Amino acid sequence: MRTERLTDALSYEEHPLYERIISDILDQGYSICDSFFEEPTVNSLREDIKTLYRHSELKKAGIGNKLNESVEKSIRGDYIQWIDEQKANAVEKGFFDKINAFKNYLNKTCFMGLLHQEFHYAVYPKGTFYKKHIDTFQNDDRRKLSLVCYLNDDSWKTSNGGELVLYPEGLPEVVVHPLPGRVVIFESQRLEHEVKEVIQDKRLSITGWLKTR
């Protein structure tokens, strides 16, 4: 029967964490989650980003996309390295497996039509920040969801600064400390946000976007 086949195609096992994230995003435009990735994954990603930074592999981030990119230190001061999923190492593969599982879940349950993702490592040295912005470009609106995972270690102090501040429409602003393994997911096209200045230490993260075609 036609309807049975449709139900088969749409069948999935309910994932309580993903369900919580989805309802958070529907209710408030963002979700904060401290258990999205396993701790060993976060620890290994932290080792990766530290090695890249030590070897000066990260580059000053620009604003705008590839067609109109410019480096504006007065707007953002982080250093980034894009991750090529085809060349991902074992840890990055594990990371992308989770991202793909989440993306497939969103497509099955919310018909979001997410096809691609792009992720980069980011280091914000002391004194850097990213002024209030949204994550879509004037000439490209394919980014639907932004996902940031903080790679700082347990020694990160809230007095280090580098808070992510979210400005949900019609709701009070939300201050998020970049604690180890914490994941923040939000609507790329709607939610204004900023990264406050880092006062002490280096702020480490992996940031990316789930995109439609």
State the minimum distance, in angstroms, from the CB of residue 28 to ligand AKG.
Answer: 17
Distance between terminal CA atoms of the chain? 32
205 binds, among ligand AKG, Fe ion, none (CB under 5 to 8 A by kind): ligand AKG
Which residue, 8 or 169, has its beta carbon nearer to ligand AKG?
169
Does position 78 bind Fe ion by CB under 5 A? no
State the minimum distance, in angstroms, from the CB of residue 48 to ligand AKG.
Answer: 17
Which residue, 45 or 148, has its beta carbon nearer to ligand AKG?
148
Which residue, 106 or 122, has its beta carbon nearer to ligand AKG?
122
Which residue, 13 or 169, has its beta carbon nearer to ligand AKG?
169
207 binds, among Fe ion, ligand AKG, none (CB under 5 to 8 A by kind): ligand AKG
Which residue, 92 or 187, has its beta carbon nearer to Fe ion?
187
Which residue, 3 or 138, has its beta carbon nearer to ligand AKG?
138
State the minimum distance, in angstroms, from the CB of residue 1 to ligand AKG.
Answer: 47
**Structural contact between residues 152 and 195, judged by C-beta atoms closer than 8 angstroms:** no
> Mind giving me the DSSP string for the chain?
-HHHHHHHHH-----HHHHHHHHHHHHHSEEEES-SS-HHHHHHHHHHHHHHHHTT--EE--BS-TTS-B--TTTB--EEEE--GGG--HHHHHHHHHHHHHHHHHHHHH-----EEEEEEEEE-TT--EEEE-S-BTTB--EEEEEEEE---TT--GGGB--EEEE-TTS--EEE---TT-EEEEETTT-EEEEPPB-SS-EEEEEEEEE--
188 binds, among ligand AKG, Fe ion, none (CB under 5 to 8 A by kind): none
Amino acid letter, residue 104: N
Binding residue (CB under 5 A) for Fe ion from 48, 78, 92, 135:
135
Question: Where does this chain bind ligand AKG (CB under 6 A)?
Answer: 122, 130, 135, 148, 164, 193, 195, 205, 207
**Structural contact between residues 177 and 171, judged by C-beta atoms closer than 8 angstroms:** no
State the minimum distance, in angstroms, from the CB of residue 122 to ligand AKG.
Answer: 6
Q: List interacting residues with Fe ion (CB under 5 A).
A: 135
